[in-house]
Amino acid sequence: MNSNHLPNPNIGHLFEGILESLNQKMSDALCDLKKISEGMPTLYEAANHAITGGKRMRPLICLLACDGIEGDSSKILPTAVGIEMIHAFTLVHDDIIDGDELRRGKPSIKHLWGDDLAILTGDVLFALAYKNILSNLKTDGIDRGRMTRVLELSSEACLKLAQGQVMDISVPIDNSWKDDVIKLKTAPLFSLASTSGAILGNGSEEDVKCMEKFGLYLGMAFQIKDDVLNISGNADRVGKPWGGDLKKGKFTLPVAHALSGVEKEDVEKIFSSPERESVLMRMIKNRGSIEYSEKIARRLIESAKQNLRAIKRKDERSALEFIADHAVKRGE
């Protein structure tokens, strides 16, 4: 996130303070792995590689939601770190499934160490994620019932992520796009982050519902923007190869819009054609499918921001609005 575009200096200081604490806690979380990996340092190196870089959007949202509800985010750092580690583990496994050699502009773990170690790295990050979240049960001032609810939501989010990934790789070829994939592939972790912050910040049930919706709509918009950038973005800025979704025949929103009104038999011919990428790119351009998808993403962000009425503190609300806006301005 470009700090030059922050609405006011207070938010910049807010981000800096939270990120400093987050990164230190992330580093501490790998210490146990470093100890047990003595003599076999590769697993530690791979896990460290997986959590290095990134915007830390999900843990930032979690901690800002907690403080914005007038809770104490310093007490829930382990939960925020756990959510980021779940995210990191999904990226490692995604790269195996998609065969991607780049992640965040650098070689993926799959590319550096192969599928076997990448799978194990993802497994380790998943275990460390839950170890960190569970550790919050021992924190003074954290209600055990609320913490148990966050643990249950974490498990539900992981199940949704797996379901979304299955849908992503097995969407049938037709021209009726549904939002199930974006609801399940990316949104669950954003929603987990915002909801967990509200719950652990001792928010009311209304606050929790608002922040759940904030994360859901933000996550859906984020995925749509990802799908747009995969087609129209600069590979160096996006950090992944251009056009990967078209090569794999993924039925994203821009593709679905471009194919709307096309007979199913013709859709199947396009997807089975060796010129699929060029044909789809031409249809996407001619039918304004990028612009359409961007409009849907912006609409979702506006819906997300309407739910920030749950956030009582002005700076935290402004920071969350900035994160939401940034989600659909990436690549600009």
C-alpha distances (whole Å) from 123 to each of 25, 88, 89 are 20, 11, 7
Distance CA 263, CA 261 (A): 6
What is the band of 166 on the pLDDT scale with cuts at 50, 70, 90? Answer: confident
What is the band of 213 on the pLDDT scale with cuts at 50, 70, 90? Answer: very high
H/E segment holding residue 23: helix 9-29
User: Does the pLDDT value for residue 205 go beyond 60?
Assistant: yes
Q: State what percent of residues in the chain have pLDDT above 90.
A: 66
Distance CA 200, CA 144 (A): 10
Distance CA 288, CA 294 (A): 10
pLDDT of residue 222: 96
Sign of the alpha-carbon torsion through 218, 100, 231, 182: negative
pLDDT of residue 332: 67
Displacement of CA 198 from its chain's centroid (Å): 18
The answer to whether the CB of 300 falls within 8 A of the CB of 221 is: yes
- Reported as a single tens digit per residue, the pLDDT across 124-148 is 999 999 999 999 999 999 999 999 9
Distance CA 232, CA 217 (A): 22
- H-state helical runs in 107-241: 109-135, 144-170, 180-185, 187-200, 205-232, 235-238
Summary mean pLDDT of the chain: 89
Q: State what percent of residues in the chain have pLDDT above 70.
A: 91
Indicate the pTM of the whole model: 0.91
- Reported as a single tens digit per residue, the pLDDT across 170-182 is 655 555 556 777 8
User: Does the pLDDT value for residue 162 go beyond 80?
Assistant: yes
- Reported as a single tens digit per residue, the pLDDT across 27-75 is 898 887 887 777 667 889 999 999 988 889 999 999 999 999 999 999 9
User: Does the pLDDT value for residue 77 go beyond 90?
Assistant: yes
pLDDT of residue 165: 87
pLDDT of residue 206: 98
User: Does the pLDDT value for residue 321 go beyond 60?
Assistant: yes
Distance CA 330, CA 12 (A): 18
pLDDT of residue 41: 72
- Which range, of 108-117, 144-153, 178-187, 312-321, averages the lowest pLDDT? 178-187
User: What average pLDDT does this structure show over 235-264?
Assistant: 78
Name the CATH topology of 3-329.
Answer: Farnesyl Diphosphate Synthase (1.10.600)
pLDDT of residue 48: 92
